[in-house]
Amino acid sequence: MAHVLETGLEFMDSNNPHNLPMVRGYNIINGKLTNSSDGNTFKSINPANLTDNLGEFPLSTRNDVHDAIDAARTALTGWAATPAPTRGQIIGNMGRLLMEHKEELVRLQAREIGKTLKECGGEIQEAIDTCLFFQSEGRRLYGQTVNSELPDKELFTYRRPLGVCGIINACNFPSAVPFWKMIPAIICGNTCVWKSPQDSPLLSFALARIMHQSGLPDGVINLVHGKGSGAGQYIVDAVDEGLINKISFTGSTAVGKAIGEVCGRNLVSCSLELGGKNPLVVMPSANIDNAVEGAYWGGFGTAGQRCTSLGNLILHEDIYDEFMDKFMAKVETTRIGDSLHQNDVLYGAMLSEKYAIDFLKGLQMVDSDGARKIWGNGRISKENTPDNFLGNPSEGVYMWPHVYVDVTEEMECFHEEVFGPVVTVVKAKDFDHALHLANASPYGLSSAIYTNDRLEAYRFKTGIKAGMTGINNSTTGAEAHLPFGGVKGSGNGTRESGIWVIEAYSYWHAVNDELSGKLQLAQMDVDEIEIDEAEVDWSCLT
Ligand code: UN1
C-alpha cells in the first residue's frame, strides 16, 4: 500500500476523445492509498463533456468505512495532544499550497462539476480564506479564567475536541464546504472521516492529498469515496454503533432530518446545513438596475445550484413591470456554456446528470402548480437551444434559465426548493405583504431586500426569519468569516465559518483547581456578607 505522498497519480489508459487524463482514484485511509475491499468502482464524468471520464474511484464498502473510522480513532489521541498553534501551522500550510496550486485546482473543479472558472476561482479562494483564518485561530482557541466564589481556588474553561467527525458534503461546493467543516474540526483537535461527494471524487482526492502534504499526520483526515446511500450511510450507521462523535452534513432537508434523528437518539452532536427557498424582495425605493443584477446573479449564477440561490423573487407591484422588463432582457440573453472553452458564460453544465434529472422533476412540480412560465424550455439540446448558448449542447447536461410568474403562496413551488436555474416570481402589495411572503416558506437560510428606505431595511432585518440577510445585495456570496447557516427547515441552528463554528466542533470543559488544601463546599462554605441594618432617612436629601 503506497502512502499518499509517495506516489503521484496513476494514469489509466483512456479512450477519451479529448485526450484528457484519466486516473485511478483511491481512498486515503491512515495516509495510505486503498481500493474498496470488494474492488468495485464508479466513474467521475465531466457534466460539460459526457465522454470525458476523469477516473475510477473506489465504491467504498462498510468495511472500508470502518477502517477509516478506526484510523481516525487511533489518530485522535496524538492529534488532540498536538499544540493548537502547531495544528494551525499545518492548516496555514494547506492555505499556502492551495494558493500555489489554485489555477490547476480551479480547472480541475470546473472539469469535474461544470461550474464556471470564475466561480471555481471564488470557491478555492473561500477554502484558502478558511485556512488562513483558522491558522491564527490555533493561537487563540481561547478558554477563560473565571473567579471562584471560594478563596484559594481557581476556575478555568477549556475547549476540548469532540472526537471522530463524519463529514458529508454536496458536490455544488466541493472545496469550500469540506474546508468549512474539516478545518475547524481539526483545529479543535478532532479527526475526520470524509465521505467525498459522488460527483467530485478527483477534486476531493487532490484536496486530501494537499492536506497530507501540508504536514497533517496520517489518520487525521481519512477520505472515503462512494454514494450517499453507501459510504455516507455507513458513516451515519456508525453513530448508532458508538463510533462517531459528530456528524457534519450539507445536503437536502430530508436527509438532514434523518441524520438528525440518528444523532439525536445517540446524543451525538450534528451540524446540518440544508435546503433553502431564499426570498429576494424588491421595493419601489430600490435602485432597480442594481436589484436586477442581484436577482439575476442570485437566481442563475452557478446554474441556480447554491443552497443560497434565489428561490422566490418578491416584487412590489409598483415596480413589477419595470423590473421584469429589465430582468427578462438579461435572462433571455444569458450566455451558457463550458467556461473551459467559452468566454464570459454566466453558467455552465448542471453538476451531473442526476442533478439535471432532479431539476426537471422540480420543473414538473412548478408546471403542475399552474405557475405561468414566461421563459425556459428544459434541457438544452441541438434542437432546443437558447440564443446565447455557446458550444455543442449535446456534449453535456445544460439547462435553459427558467422564469415563472403568477406564483402564489398556495402553490407547492412557492415552498419547495428547485435546485437549478429557475426563479419563481411573486407579486407583493406592500412591505408587510412582502415580508410575510419572505417568511412564508418552510425554509430560512438566506434572504435579501433591495430598498433605499432605511426603516424598511431595518424592519426586514428584524422581521425576517433567516440565518443570513443581504441588504441591497444578492442572496448568495457569504464571506468565509461570518456565520453561515439557517433556521426553520434550513438547518438545526449550528453555524459554519468564523469564530462561531468552533462551538460546533468542541465542548466546554470546566475545571476547578482547589489550592486551599481542604474541602470547601461551593454555595455552602461561601462567606455570607450581611447588609448593615442602619436606618438612613434619604428623604432629608430631597
Ligand atoms: C452552498 O451552496 O452550500 O454564500 C454554500 C454562498 C457561498 C457558499 C454556498 N459562499 O453562496
Give pLDDT tens digits for 105-150.
999 999 999 999 999 999 999 999 999 999 999 999 999 999 999 9
The number of distinct structural domains making up the chain is 2
Residue 148 in grid coordinates: 471562584
- Residue 485: phi, psi to the nearest 5? 160, 175
Q: Confirm whether 323 is domain-assigned.
A: yes
pLDDT at 62: 98
- Domain CATH number, residue 371: 3.40.309.10
206 shares its domain with 282: no
Looking at the structure, do residues 297 and 198 belong to the same domain, yes or no?
A: no
Based on the fold, state whether residues 254 and 288 are members of the same structural domain. no
For ligand 1, the distance from its centroid to the CA atom of residue 124, given in whole angstroms, is: 12
Q: What is the CATH number of the domain that holds 170?
A: 3.40.605.10
pLDDT value of position 485? 98
Three-class secondary structure assignment of 233-260? HHHHHHHHCCCCCEEEEECCHHHHHHHH
pLDDT of residue 298: 98
Q: Are residues 240 and 326 in the same domain?
A: no
Average per-residue pLDDT for the chain: 97
Cα→Cα distances 121→41, 132, 176, 214, Å: 29, 16, 11, 21
Concatenated DSSP letters of 455-511: HHHHHHHHH---S--EESS-S----TTS-B--EETTBSS--BSTGGGGGGGEEEEEE
Pairing relation of β-strands 487-488 and 443-444? antiparallel
Percent of the chain with pLDDT over 90: 95
Residues 299 and 202 in one domain: no
Whether 184 and 333 map to the same domain: the answer is no
Domain holding 352, by residue range, is: 278-480
Tell whether 150 and 73 lie within a shared domain.
yes
Within-domain flag for 115: yes
Q: Is the pLDDT of residue 16 over 80?
A: no
Amino acid 313 reads: L
- What is the largest distance, in Å, between two alpha-carbon atoms of the chain? 101
Q: If you measure from the C-alpha of residue 5 to the centroid of ligand 1, how many angstroms do you get, rounded to a whole number?
A: 31
Q: Which of 124, 173, 501 to mutate to test the pocket of ligand 1 (most atoms within 8 A of CB)?
A: 173
Tell me, in angstroms, the distance from the centre of ligand 1 to residue 307's CA. Answer: 6
Is the Cβ atom of 419 under 6 angstroms away from ligand 1? no
- Same domain (yes/no): 182, 146: yes
In a shared domain, residues 230 and 300: no
Residue 428 domain flag? yes
| Structural domain contains residue 320 | yes
Whether 334 and 451 map to the same domain: the answer is yes
pLDDT above 70 covers what percent of the chain? Answer: 99
Average pLDDT over residues 90-117: 98
Verify whether ligand 1 is closer than 6 Å to residue 169 (CB atom): no
Whether the pLDDT of residue 13 is over 90: the answer is no
Among 196, 169, 407, 204, smallest CA distance to 307 is for 169
Cell of 474: 444578492
> 288 and 246 in one domain?
no
Dist CA 65 CA 155 (whole Å): 41
Shared domain for 253 and 367, answered yes or no, is no
Best mutation site among 113, 255, 271, 307 for ligand 1 pocket (most ligand atoms within 8 Å of CB)? 307
Q: Per-residue pLDDT tens for 446-475? A: 999 999 999 999 999 999 999 999 999 999
Please indicate, yes or no, if residue 517 is contained in any of the structural domains. no
Supply 486's cell numbers: 439557517
CB 288 within 8 A of CB 323: yes
- Asked whether 278 lines ligand 1 (CB < 6 A), one says no
- Residue 307 annotated among the catalytic residues of the structure: yes
